[in-house]
Chains A and B, each alone.
Chain A
């Protein structure tokens, strides 16, 4: 209808119409932008205030002397009567409880020992885990992630099955968080999920998992051997890292197999493992291995040789000193420097002045590095 009228108008009228339309739209956007910003600010301020309120209360509770602590906890419940839902709208109640959870999580980062136990206790007593679980069972993945995180951070193990089920979830964020959560809750035992995970575990995720494990009591995972056979390359890589971290000497043979894995990254990781896990044959094996692999793996081999190499390697290394690129040559010089006299190394490359020049420079740098901070 409108279109019909429009078409009947002449060009000028049409243009005027559109111009007005546009100006209208523009001013509408302007108004919306301005007022929504005001509104959001107001909301944010209100939340901030609530946050501060809860924060200072939490602090008081945490550092109160033991005798008064229980009283305060009771008082806290009274103060937070809204948590129980008296006279508050559901939405607002939910929001306030979420603020409480956020604050507890924030403080948790700074606490260990008895202080941490108090926080866990608080989380239980206010039944905040119910809120978290509700999020976990929601279909929206962002909420699931939040729920999983909260439950695991607060060491609430009751729902671990639901969390474990998520460790191979289709949605990446959920999967990642569930894996972290299971490790947070059960430490190395939680790594069980490695047996079933079919998705790639990214470098980042591996790093975070290792970081979590660093802060836990050292208990060795038992299944590494099985994971090293996994069809999922990223699981193999991660297991190699674990083997390295926990010094699993009994896995040496298995790690040796991984040197011939089709995936180059696995090879590199396996080589790096040998830095800590090795026996008397490793050095010679590596030297043989060096000749059949790509440059990236070679660099890793040299890295390991830095700590493993003995006089047995010297002859071999001299051979490669003259025939390779600078980056590799530098590593070789570094290794040789620890094994023999600098002057011998220079003599070995006497015939080629260019190489000699670079080797001298390298030696100078290496020797200086040793002196710099001692």
Chain B
């Protein structure tokens, strides 16, 4: 047989098998998630969090909020941190060498003075220029750290060094937290006696167009912006149908950087944030897990399924492009750094299931989709495509994607019910319909661009300092498990038609 034929077979069947596997995996995860959601629905939450929150028996938490060139909003953002409803708290704002007057604004607004402070540098970081405390007793909880610029991860590491409490929470200052968010987050750390909980993450929801007052969401609306609306669907789908299942398997590889809580000691022992990657939030979790696996200590990463944190998502294609490009690079870098986990029995679920899943279906999916499109064009030019089959398969695949998205919205209406207006659900369902056309392809392209960037740079090493995370506000959910679905669909379409061709 000549090589062209081999080539042809390899790709056609390869892509077909890949797509079938992908669909199966999604189905499995989806069904498992639905099951878990039904369980969750039955379970009422009784704990009266608000009463406990104001008492002093609650465990101490340090909140880390990095800031870079945010002069315009910094004072307001810090003010909203003060309205977090929790008694036993310390707020650490880290000024990452801003070039504007962020620091001065903070000093003026909160009556800060520079205080002598001994920094126990357990993680190596860029030097600290000074630590500031307020002279006003009302702002006693606030500590502002001024340091030389070193990127978001570096700023967070300084925060870890300075934090004095047992648990640390890293948040994007422009996020809106639910009132009892911190208590809900800290609860899992204290309620599993047999396993050491090293980290916990929550559900992120889209805050665009929602009414916010005093750091609280007062009314939830479906975003007016089309792009944001699609992302709302994407987030719901990803959190309800993806993470729920992964967390139950204890295979969660990511906690969104917008709002997550860690056990400080473990985070520091594992080495803190990696300053060389753009996906420092994912990387840290993976490394903390590895640290625990290597030490053979029973541990868990918990996931809180109620919406706790609301964030603004990008409403312009340009920002969205940058965000997805970055997510993809973060993913690839993290996966590459920890490649020893790949099908490594030693790491249990993590090595045999989570990690390969990320490689095959998060990292490879956009590439396979690209290949699919390329082949489609090539075959079309050569006149080898049976269009009737192509379109049938396309319908099949697209409707599979629709099914998935619509189910997640159905689950949402039965469980969390955040969208209460009459037309809200209808709007979301419509967004599901136009998602593949105006959103999906664009996102895949951005991901591929991210991969290309990495490949092109690979000789010079993995990374230059990236500070993107500060400038933009919206990078919160690292990656979306299901978004790629529709994509694959098209590929399946591609090869099946190819297959027919051979007959």
Binding site for B on A (CB under 8 A): 11-12, 15-16, 18-19, 22-23, 25-26, 29-30, 32-34, 36-38, 40-41, 44, 109, 142, 145-146, 149, 173, 177, 200, 202-205, 207-208, 210-211, 214, 234, 326-327, 330, 358, 361-362, 364-365, 368-369, 372-373
**Minimum Cβ distance to chain B for residue A323 (Å):** 17
Which one, B51, B115, B190, B194, contacts A207 given CB within 8 A? B190
Q: How far is the CB of B321 from chain A (nearest CB, A)?
A: 29
Partner of B403, one of A11, A26, A44: A26
Contacts A19-B395, A19-B396, A26-B402; is A361 near B118 (CB within 8 Å)? yes
B218 at the A interface (CB under 8 A): no
Please name all residues of chain A whose beta carbon is closer than 8 Å to the beta carbon of B57 when the two chains form the complex: 207, 210-211, 214
Query: In the assembled complex, which residues on chain B have CB atoms less than 8 Å from the CB atom of A15?
Result: 389, 392-393, 396
CB of B237 to closest CB in A, whole Å: 13
A19-B396, A22-B396 known; A202 vs B191 contact (CB < 8 Å): yes
In the complex the two chains form, is A326's CB within 8 Å of B120's CB?
yes
Q: Which residues of B contact A149 (CB under 8 A)?
A: 46
B27-75 residues at the A interface, CB under 8 angstroms: 42-44, 46-48, 51-52, 55, 57-59
User: B399 contacts A30, CB within 8 Å?
Assistant: no
Of the candidates A23, A210, A358, the one whose C-beta lies within 8 Å of that of B118 is A358
**Interface residue total, chain B, C-beta cutoff 8 A:** 54
Of A12, A32, A145, A327, the residue contacting B410 (CB under 8 A) is A32
Of listed A32, A203, A204, A207, residue having the most chain B CB within 10 A? A204
Closest CB of chain B to A171's CB: distance in Å? 12
Taking a contact as CB atoms under 8 Å apart, the answer to whether A362 and B137 are in contact is no
List the A side residues contacting B187 at CB < 8 Å.
Answer: 204
- Across the interface, which residues of B come within 8 angstroms of A23, CB to CB? 395, 399
Q: Which 6 A-B pairs have the closest CB atoms?
A: A364-B116, A203-B190, A37-B425, A204-B190, A33-B410, A22-B399
How far is it, in angstroms, between the C-alpha of A177 and the C-alpha of B46 when the chains are bound?
9
The complex places the Cα of A11 from the Cα of B193 at a distance, in Å, of 57
Q: How far is the CB of B478 from chain A (nearest CB, A)?
A: 27
Q: Does the CB pair B44–A33 fall under 8 Å? A: no
**Footprint of A on B, CB under 8 Å?**
42-44, 46-48, 51-52, 55, 57-59, 115-118, 120, 122, 133, 135, 137, 140, 187, 189-194, 388-389, 392-393, 395-396, 399-400, 402-403, 406-407, 409-410, 413-414, 417, 419-420, 422, 424-426, 429, 500
A41 and B58 in contact, given A33-B406, A36-B413 (Cβ under 8 angstroms):
no
Q: Chain A contacts of B46 at CB under 8 A?
A: 145-146, 149, 177
What residues of chain B lie closer than 8 Å to A205, measured between beta carbons?
A: 191
**Across-interface contacts of A364 in B (CB, < 8 A):** 116, 118
A142 to B413, alpha carbons, bound, how many Å?
A: 21
Q: How many A-B residue pairs have CB under 8 A?
A: 128
Name the CB-closest residue of A to B116: A364
Q: Which of A37, A145, A200, A368 has the most CB of B within 10 A?
A: A37
Question: A200–B120 contact, CB under 8 A?
Answer: no
Q: Determine the residue in chain A with the shortest Cβ distance to B58.
A: A207
CB < 8 Å neighbour of B44 from A34, A142, A204: A142
CB < 8 Å neighbour of A365 from B44, B115, B419? B115
In the complex with contacts A12-B389, A210-B57, A41-B399 CB distance below 8 A:
no
Contacts of A202 in B (CB 8 A): 190-193
Q: Say whether A36 contacts B410, CB under 8 Å.
A: yes
Jot down 14 A-B pairs with beta carbons below 8 A, ordered by A: A15-B396, A23-B399, A25-B403, A29-B410, A30-B406, A34-B425, A38-B425, A41-B422, A145-B44, A200-B193, A330-B120, A368-B115, A368-B116, A369-B115
Supplied contacts A207-B58, A369-B115, 8 more A-B pairs, CB within 8 Å: A19-B395, A34-B425, A44-B420, A142-B42, A173-B43, A203-B190, A327-B120, A330-B118
Residue numbers in B under 8 Å from A145 (CB-CB): 44, 46
Nearest chain A CB to B198 CB, angstrom units: 15
- Closest-CB distance, A268 to chain B (whole angstroms): 12
- Residues of chain A within 8 A (CB-CB) of B403 are 22, 25-26, 29
Q: Let me know if A204 and B191 touch, CB within 8 A.
A: yes
| Complex CA–CA separation, A234 to B194 (angstroms) | 11
Q: Among B55, B410, B500, which residue has its beta carbon within 8 angstroms of that of A211?
A: B55
Taking the closest CB of chain A, its distance from the CB of B408, in whole angstroms, is 9
Could you tell me if A22 and B426 are in contact, using CB atoms closer than 8 angstroms?
no
A116 to chain B, nearest CB (A): 15
- Measured between alpha carbons, how far is A200 from B193 in the docked complex, in Å? 7
How many angstroms from the CA of A203 to the CA of B120 in the assembled complex? 29
User: What is the bound-complex CA distance between A179 and B389, given in angstroms?
Assistant: 64
Provide the residues of chain A in CB contact with B426, threshold 8 Å: 34
Q: In the complex, A145 Cα to B43 Cα: how many Å?
A: 10
B-side contacts of A214, CB under 8 Å? 55, 57
